[in-house]
Structure 1
């Protein structure tokens, strides 16, 4: 669970070295947005990091990823499947808003240096305005 919380901190702080350490080289992120369906996956560590950078560049205010109800669904020595609720908020200094909610599903793979995110799927509960970058 602390690993996932560190992931959210790394996303919010755009800590690229930490994010890179969380991601498998062949990681894939897939988003489902109401009214738009499944978006093209973002595939590969470099593409995911570019996606996160673009999301940060497009955002206004301070964005936070709040992970809760973290559940390890299955696990063995080399793989684990983890689900967590996500609520993403934005604080502009004048007001706080909920940008989106949904469920992160992580497929984790063990490497020589620790657990890595092999796949992240994120079906959003609502269609946020603008980009889904950085989710």
Structure 2
């Protein structure tokens, strides 16, 4: 089960960076909620529902420059039962412009996972950034 949860989180990061809506739909629960905390800017969200989250992601991609990657590390399952789980991961976000590579931000993701149709899906996503973007 732990490997399946970690795989879902990895699939999320790849789909996010590649702006792959069908893969994002596969890992997000229908009623997913996203909440972000940014130093100096407070709390953003929650963004509620798969469609709203996908719109949020599309807007974010349209506003970014260069190739942005979400590197998730130290992925650990902190609580689980047969139908729900909590997964935490560190974030290192980078941007490659072709001329330079920069670290954009660091932070901590907390994923509230739920079993749905035999698959683990992200029901709640909380991102607490260490620095403002």
TM range (shorter): over 0.9
Q: CA deviation at 1:67?
A: 0.3
For the aligned residues, what is the CA RMSD? Answer: 0.7
How many pairs align?
128
Runs of 4+ in 1 over 6 A off after TM superposition: none
Aligned to 1:123: 128
TM-score (norm 2): 0.94
Partners of 2:49 and 2:90 in 1: CA distance = 24
TM-score relative to the length of structure 1: 0.92
In terms of fraction of residues, the more helix-rich structure is 2
Structure 1 residue runs of 5 or longer lacking an equivalent are 129-135
SS in 2 for 1:110: strand
**For the Cα contact (< 8 Å) 2:94–2:104, is it kept in 1?**
yes
CA deviation profile, 1:67-118 (whole Å, cap 9, x unmatched): 0000100000000000000111000000001111100000000011401100
Between the aligned partners of 2:116 and 2:29, the Cα distance in structure 1 is 8
- Structure 2 residue runs without a partner (length 5+): 1-5
